[in-house]
Amino acid sequence: MPKRITYKRAGVNIDEADRAVASIRTMARRTFTPNVLTDIGSFGGGFRLRGYKDPVLISSADGVGTKIKLAFLTGVHSTIGEDLVNHCVNDIAVQGAEPLYFLDYFAVGRLDAKVAAQVVSGIARGCKANQCALIGGETAEMPGLYAEGEYDLAGFITGAVERKDMITGASIKQGDVLLGLPSTGLHTNGYSLARMLLFEVAGHHAGTEIAELGGSIAEELLKIHRSYLAPLRALRDAGLLKGAAHVTGGGITENTPRILPKGLGVRIKVGSWPVLPVFEILRKIGRIPEHDWRRTFNLGIGMIVVVSPRHLKDAERVLGSLREDYYRIGEVIRGRGVIYK
């Protein structure tokens, strides 16, 4: 007679999942706004849209790339969720949207409720900071699909904007000014190359201290992908924002043209902002060709905003009132693509 076989023996622990959901429910509830109509655990998340006359819903889905491997390597799981939320918020904020609600997907081979809680704590913190409700998600335990101690993470965000206030880049013209807002570091892009160069080529480890970084490699690579919601919102509300590009995979080279009308390109002034030390270190270790370097990393600029030259002083005042650093990094020109000079 065969032995009794349970779901737990097959690798799925429902009791551990229940413990994880209990802690997630508590954290998620702290992000709720009055527009949330359902609780965590419902089959679907309900959100009431109000306060808009002609709303457009803007949605986005993303992950954090191989930055997630730094969480596995260091055992620091409490920041990766904040990276995820901020990345998603930035992607819809460039179109003028206010974040409404967020959902996450957390998949693991063997569920550890404590690790899951740490990951979601970062998601909840990011949602709270961006006035975005965490209304649901999925925690999937799939034995045999992921290596021991590893997991995957993705996020889904929805925001809203009045149709007349959408930021599309359609009004961008030749001569408009590009202002670059600083990044904190790699954000969530270029980690596959960075890990290869630092750990395989240079032979460093996560705890290696590098003087130029002012700390360890782990501290540098785990710096949180920042949110640009506040400056984008302020420029939008002041009627100054003509377009914005979130500098992610592809760098300035690939992301800036995404917001430009046909027939326009940009000229980027090399040396107009301080390239962060980590990017110079990576360039030297790998002897990375300049073109590839610019297409892989943000190089210290995480968001580009486009304003009219006649409104430049107004934009500078708005950013100054927020104590937001910025650099005048280039201008819109006739042509296509990005020219570095």
Q: 128-181, pLDDT tens digit by residue?
A: 999 999 999 999 888 888 888 899 999 999 999 999 999 999 999 999 999 999
Residue span of the structural domain in which 325 resides: 177-340
The interaxial angle of helices 113-129 and 14-29, nearest 10 deg, is: 20
Q: Is 1 a domain residue?
A: no
| 152 CB-contact burial (10 Å; exposed 0-12 / middle 13-18 / buried 19+) | middle
Least confident window among 108-112, 222-226, 241-245, 268-272: 108-112
- The residue out of 165, 193, 215 marking a domain boundary is 165
Same domain membership, residue 193 and residue 53: no
Predicted pLDDT of residue 11: 63
Same-domain pairing of 239 and 319: yes
pLDDT surpassing 80 at residue 303:
yes
Segment (H or E) for 56: strand 55-63
Count how many Cα atoms sit within 13 Å of the Cα of residue 334 in the half-sphere of its side chain. Answer: 0
Q: What is the pLDDT of residue 41?
A: 82
User: What number is the average pLDDT over the span 16-28?
Assistant: 79
In Å, how far are 159, 166, 307, 308, 312 from 239, measured between CA atoms?
19, 11, 10, 11, 12
Model confidence band, residue 5 (pLDDT cutoffs 50, 70, 90):
low
Judge if 154 and 184 occupy the same domain: no
